[in-house]
Amino acid sequence: MLACLHAANRNSINRHFWGAALLVIVHPDVKNWIKYARFEEKHSYFAHARKVYERAVEFFGEEHMDEQLYVAFAKFEENQKEVWISFAQFELSAGKEESLSRCRQIYEEANKAMRNCEEKEERVMLLESWRNFEEEFGTDTTKERIDKLMPEKIKKRRKLQAEDGSDAGWEEYYDYIFPEDTANQPNLKLLAMAKLWKKQQQESEAAEVDPDKDVDESQS
């Protein structure tokens, strides 16, 4: 018991140290921001981790942004659904008296954290996991609440383009409209920028693996 208290105190002290250091210094080294965010994530402070990334992006700005930060932010966002669900299941498996309320609180925090998630399917899977939890352990009131959070699934069409820029017809796809989004209209700019940076990195790495690809395509 004492060991757990000491560990919790150390984590609290470490979190205070990281936060105070960045607030006072406003550290110019992006690696320290990433370390701070990953420290928060490691100890299951996911909402805090996201705030650290957002503050870092705001601090450095678009013109002075480091690629490492965008890639780390994008990977964090991609992994959120799995991390949150695992966290909720771990809490539930503890079997303590407060486990149900704590598990529901985790789903609440997860839903708030993933409102800016660009991958809507990931958010849907999180809500479905939450709904399964409520169907087994919840009340009529909690079941009704999660039902109101579920998105409307609609079919859309988008235009396709071939590699040469010519029209390639149309394709149908499904989109999700979340009730909370229509009320709050979340700003996806930061995450969209992170996704773009990651895509550019992947394309750059692919070019390094196969440097003759662009040459071959230009000659064809």
Q: What is the pLDDT of residue 195?
A: 63
Spatial contact of 167 and 159, defined as CB atoms under 8 Å apart: yes
Q: What is the pLDDT of residue 167?
A: 85
- H-run or E-run covering 160: strand 152-161
Domain residue ranges in the chain: 1-65
Cα–Cα dist 54/69, whole Å: 10
- Dmax (CA) for the chain in angstroms is 70
Which stretches in the chain have pLDDT values below 70?
Answer: 1-28, 62-66, 78-79, 182-196, 207-220
Q: Per the structure block, which two tokens stand in for 125? A: 């899977």
At 220, is the secondary structure helix, strand, or coil?
coil
Q: What is the pLDDT of residue 192?
A: 60
DSSP assignment string, 78-90: HHHHHHHHHHHHH
Q: What is the pLDDT of residue 101?
A: 92
Q: What is the pLDDT of residue 70?
A: 73
Q: Per the structure block, which two tokens stand in for 101? A: 């309320």
Torsion angle in degrees (nearest 10) through CA of 82, 181, 60, 35: -20
Q: What is the pLDDT of residue 14?
A: 52
Q: Per the structure block, which two tokens stand in for 15? A: 């979190």
